[in-house]
Amino acid sequence: MNMPALRKKAGTTVNANIAAKTRKKVNKKTPTKVAAIKSKNPTPARTSKSSKVKVANKLLASLSAAEFRRLLPHLEPIGLMFGDVLFEPGSAINYVYFPNDSLVSMLTVVDDRLALEVGLVGCEGMVGVAFSLGITTSPVRAVVQGAGTAMRMKAALFRKALNANGTLQKSVNLYIHAFMAQVSQTAACNRFHVVEARLARWLLMTRDRVDADHFELTHEFLGRMLGVRRVGVTKAANALKQQNLIEYSRGNIVIMNGRGLEAASCSCYKTLRDAQPF
């Protein structure tokens, strides 16, 4: 799938990604093969004794210690590359994914050619939620928009874990509710709110999901995510730049004033942030 946009900072081996400068001083190198995940979120995070992999995913972090220990042997650290398609509409869900610092976009495909983002998944959730509802095929296209790491689990083992009556089912249910809220809010947002406010919302949601204030992305990419033409994105980005809320130059976007950007965002950002269970 050709969807250039969120570009990896120079010096990394993947061709595109979110994030380089983060709010905290962190190791900016994103491993393509996950040997050791350096979490940008020191808490909540859990460390596998066997693989020394830190798990920054908040859904996993919400589990009881006993439940997490049960899952751990089945959680496989994986590097996700920009443009990786985890699911196509109708494809089998063989794995579920728990992003650590990667970002995955859920796209609804229309007429086999048009795709619009309806949801964004990062460290706050999981990809493949339909499986927990007994659905074995994906309703959406899931594309990696920000390279990074995730933990994945075989769907069959995930099903067993759900049926074990532990805390996993409760956490997944809470996340499904939040994700449904995101999808429905996004639909209303696309219809009622202006591009500038939607762009502010998207940047803030991305920031929260990858814990980074600095992204590399193109207007073309943003247009696809927001469902507007490139010229509309340019106008909106310039407006935010003139208010000193973001810096924008040659595909680099830096959030300069997070509070100001929240004020410029539509109400959807706060609504969705407040709905986050983790």
Q: Which is nearer to Zn ion, 3 or 268 (CB)?
A: 268
CB of 236 to Zn ion, least distance (A): 13
User: Tokens 């990667």 belong to which residue?
Assistant: 102
Please, what is the minimum distance in Å from the beta carbon of residue 271 to Zn ion?
8
Token pair recorded at residue 130: 């339909």
Smaller CB separation from Zn ion, 115 or 272: 272
* Shortest distance, position 149 Cβ to Zn ion, whole Å: 30
- Nearest distance, CB of residue 192 and Zn ion, angstroms: 7
CA distances for 84 relative to 2, 188, 194, angstroms: 10, 28, 30
Cβ contacts of 180-188, under 8 Å, gap ≥ 24: 181/271, 181/272, 181/275, 182/119, 182/120, 182/272, 182/275, 183/106, 183/118, 183/119, 185/268, 185/271, 185/272, 186/117, 186/118, 186/119, 186/268, 187/118, 188/268
Q: How far is the CB of 116 from Zn ion (least distance, A)?
A: 15
Quick one: 36 or 194, whose CB is closer to Zn ion? Answer: 194
Nearer of residues 170 and 193 to Zn ion, judged by Cβ: 193
Q: Read off the amino acid at residue 72.
A: L
Q: Is 142 left (phi over 0), alpha (psi -120 to 50) or beta?
A: beta
Binding stretches for Zn ion (CB under 5 A): 189, 193, 266, 268
Environment class of 65 (CB within 10 Å of its CB; exposed 0-12, middle 13-18, buried 19+) = exposed
Report CA-CA distances (Å) from 237 to 178, 181, 193, 202, 222: 28, 26, 15, 12, 10
What is the amino acid identity at position 111? D
Q: Which C-beta is closer to Zn ion: that of 100 or that of 185?
A: 185
Q: Closest CB to Zn ion among 188 and 231?
A: 188
Query: Shortest distance, CB of residue 268 to Zn ion, whole angstroms?
Result: 3
